[in-house]
Structure 1
Amino acid sequence: MNLARILRHLAAGRMALRRLFPASALVAIEQAIESSEVSHGGEIRFAAESGLQLLSLLKDQPARERAIEVFSQLGVWDTEHNNGVLIYLLVADRDVEIVADRGINMKVGREKWELICREMEGAFSQGKFESGVIAGIRAVGEHLREHFPSEQSEQQNELTDRPVIL
Structure 2
Amino acid sequence: MKKIMTRLYRHFITTSRTARKAFPAITLMEIQAKIAEGERTHRAEARMIVESSLNLRAVLNGVTSRQRAHELFSHYRMWDTEENIGVLLYVNIADHKVEIITDRAVGRAIPSAEWQAVCQTMTREFANGTFHDSTLAALEKLNSLLTDHFPDADGKRNELSDRPLML
Give TM-score, length-normalised by structure 1: 0.96
- The 5-angstrom pairing of residues 1-166 of structure 1 reads 2-153=4-155, 155-166=156-167
Whole-angstrom distance in 2 between the partners of 1:19 and 1:57: 23
Give RMSD over aligned pairs: 1.0
Percent sequence identity is 36
Deviation of 1:152 after TM superposition, in Å, equals: 2.6
Q: Within 2, Cα distance between the matches of 1:161 and 1:101? A: 17
- Specify the code of the residue in structure 2 equivalent to 1:19: K
Q: CA–CA distance in 2 between the matches of 1:118 and 1:148? A: 23
Structure 1 residue 32 displacement after superposition: 0.5
Q: Which amino acid aligns with 1:69?
A: E
Off by >2 Å, runs of 4+ in structure 1: none
How big is the shift at 1:151?
A: 2.1
> Structure 2-normalised TM-score?
0.95
1:49–1:89 Cα contact (<8 Å) kept: yes
Q: Please, which runs of 5 or more residues in structure 1 have no aligned partner?
A: none
**Which structure 2 segments of 5+ residues have no match?**
none
Count of aligned pairs between the two proteins: 165
> SS of the counterpart of 2:46?
strand
Find the residue that maps to 1:133 and give its secondary structure: helix
